[in-house]
Amino acid sequence: MIKVGIIGSTGYAGQELVRLLLGHKEAEIIWYGSRSYIDKKYYEVFGNMFEIVDAKCLDDNMEELASKADVIFTATPQGLCASLVNEDILSKVKIVDLSADFRIKDVSVYEKWYGIEHKSPEYIEEAVYGLCEINREDIKGKRLVANPGCYTTCSILSLYPLVKEGVIDPNSIIIDAKSGTSGAGRGAKINNLYCEVNENIKAYGVTSHRHTPEIEEQLGYACGKEILLNFTPHLVPMNRGILVTAYGNLTKKYTYEEIKAIYDKYYREEYFIRVLDKDVCPETRWVEGSNYVDVNFKIDERTGRIVVMGALDNLVKGAAGQAVQNMNLIFGLPETMGLELAPMFP
């Protein structure tokens, strides 16, 4: 059994990790970390775990945990994992970090967009960007994996085949994305209160959202050059889900069949990526509670552009599910283990 420690187990992504790992036949959670609820029983924080998890919440002592666990998930705010990790810890345990601390390779870009000093830049180059469908071979056996975020996972996977094959001008990309409120975390914030969010939709982080450089960097690798794009997120009054609608200028005239063949080339064998039937638009309700990503596209012959759409559950494929997928790859397990869950509806 893989002994698992979770630092940040009482956030939304942390609780989703617990839910998924409880059903994983090769994993055992030995550490429910939470600064806010130390010594409180886990089921007292999340009532859905009553008579399922009787363990108490512990602190975020990564040094102690590294001596007990095989893998540590850090579902924590930006900066915490980087402040805790060191060579002694990495020599003992694998780490899957759900924050952005090791996603961006240029430390100056990270510090500019996140507004904090990086505490362990010496590990940035070693860290593997954990987008499994693209970096699968690089993830296997590694000791430090940077788990991508929800907006970035949906945006990159939706656009990757087109950028990789030169179908669109990458500098023409505009990404319009929408997220459920769980994407903002479980902390008490006025802007996330029910009366503030309900019956409302709003853009935020316009031209300045910190996932922008992450998307640019990864799609830049796909096309072999630095790119600039527009990314605008929106908050919508639902619990879960990411919906991305992206636009790009086609480099020449393409038929539906040609574009579909490109998506099939990259995703036909991918268990968790579903390229939908022609003219079917992805919807968040059809991926909720699952590790699936639904993608599709529509060619706009009038403008010479293509409209690309993607949907995923921000807490599963956008966070915890992808982290478990990374764990499976690290330890040589079947990639889908513990994640073969059909989406929930309603």
Task: Say what the alpha-carbon torsion angle 138, 142, 146, 147 is, to the nearest 10 degrees.
Answer: 80
Percent of the chain clearing pLDDT 70 (strictly above): 100
pLDDT at 15: 98
pLDDT at 306: 98
Average pLDDT over residues 99-122: 97
**Domain map of the chain by residue range?**
2-126, 151-314
Q: How far is CA 180 from the centre of its chain?
A: 14
Q: d(Cα 67, Cα 26) in Å, to the nearest integer? A: 19
pLDDT at 276: 98
Global confidence as pTM: 0.96
Average pLDDT over residues 260-285: 98
Average pLDDT over residues 163-171: 98
Give me the catalytic one of 132, 150, 154, 223: 150
Q: How far is CA 139 from the centre of its chain?
A: 15
Q: How confident is the model at residue 178 (pLDDT cuts 50, 70, 90)?
A: very high
**What are the tens digits of pLDDT across the range 43-85?**
999 999 999 999 999 999 999 999 999 999 999 999 999 999 9
- Given CA atoms 157, 163, 168, 169 in this order, what sign does their dihedral have? positive
Collapsed DSSP state (helix, strand, coil) of residue 30 = strand
pLDDT at 57: 98
Tell me if residue 150 is catalytic: yes
How much is the mean pLDDT over the chain? 97
pLDDT at 187: 80
pLDDT at 176: 98
C-alpha to C-alpha distances, 146 to 98, 129, 267, nearest whole angstrom: 7, 5, 22
Residue 188 confidence (pLDDT) above 80: no
Could you tell me if 129 and 135 are in contact, meaning their C-beta atoms sit under 8 angstroms apart? yes
SS (H, E, C) 214-230: HHHHHHHHHHCCCCCCE
Architecture of the domain whose range is 2-126: 3-Layer(aba) Sandwich (3.40)
pLDDT at 264: 98
Task: Let me know the angle formed at the C-alpha of 208 by 203 and 213, rounded to the nearest 5 degrees.
Answer: 120
pLDDT at 6: 98
pLDDT at 186: 84
Q: The domain 151-314 is classified under which CATH number: 3.40.190.10, 3.40.50.970, 3.30.300.30, 3.30.360.10?
A: 3.30.360.10
* Amino acid (1-letter code) at residue 2: I
Q: d(Cα 68, Cα 30) in Å, to the nearest integer? A: 8
* Residues 6 or more apart whose Cβ sits within 8 Å of residue 272: 133, 291, 292, 293, 317, 325, 336, 339
Q: d(Cα 209, Cα 213) in Å, to the nearest integer? A: 9
**What are the tens digits of pLDDT across the range 124-138?**
999 999 999 999 999
* Amino acid (1-letter code) at residue 86: N
C-alpha to C-alpha distances, 243 to 84, 222, 314, nearest whole angstrom: 33, 22, 9
Residue 191 confidence (pLDDT) above 90: no
CB atoms within 10 A of CB 3: 16
